[in-house]
Amino acid sequence: MIMEVVVSLLLLASGALVLTAAAGLWRLPDFPLRMHAPALANTLGSWSVTLASIVHGTATTQRLALHHWAIIILLAITVPITTALLARAALFRDRAAAARLPRRAV
């Protein structure tokens, strides 16, 4: 019973976090601001889902089910790489677009 309450709370928390991230992705005005929103789902959202499945798996199989940590480790390794690459690409593209504009006459 306690397991159900804990798992439910963790799942609902992750749902709220992912929804907040999606709202930020949809509502924020420009790209550098928009990049911040999915970090919420990438970090705390995925942590809470993984903790929920660890608790659930441990309680249902009566053994320690720790293999779900692999998801967390994978995300913790890959998400900073993609974020940095994407930010660098956006910066590069913005600079290239600004260089293509004609110079304003002084």
User: Is residue 104 classed as helix, strand or coil in its secondary structure?
Assistant: coil
According to CB under 8 A, which one of 66, 69, 92, 95 is a site residue for other proteins? Answer: 92
44 near other proteins, rule: CB under 8 A: no
Among 63, 82, 100, 105, binds other proteins (CB under 8 A): 82
On whether the CB atoms of residues 53 and 67 are closer than 8 A, the answer is no
If the CB atoms of residues 63 and 105 are measured against other proteins, the closer one turns out to be: 63
Dist. CA 82–CA 76, nearest whole Å: 11
Alpha helices in the chain (DSSP H): 2-27, 31-34, 37-40, 46-61, 69-100
State how far the alpha carbon of 73 is from the alpha carbons of 12, 42, 46, 66, in Å: 22, 12, 11, 12
- CB of residue 15 to other proteins, shortest distance in Å: 3
Point out which residues bind other proteins (CB under 8 A): 4-5, 7-9, 11-12, 14-16, 18-19, 21-23, 25-26, 31, 34-35, 38, 41-42, 45-46, 49-50, 52-53, 56, 60, 67-68, 70-71, 74-75, 78, 81-82, 85-86, 88-90, 92-93
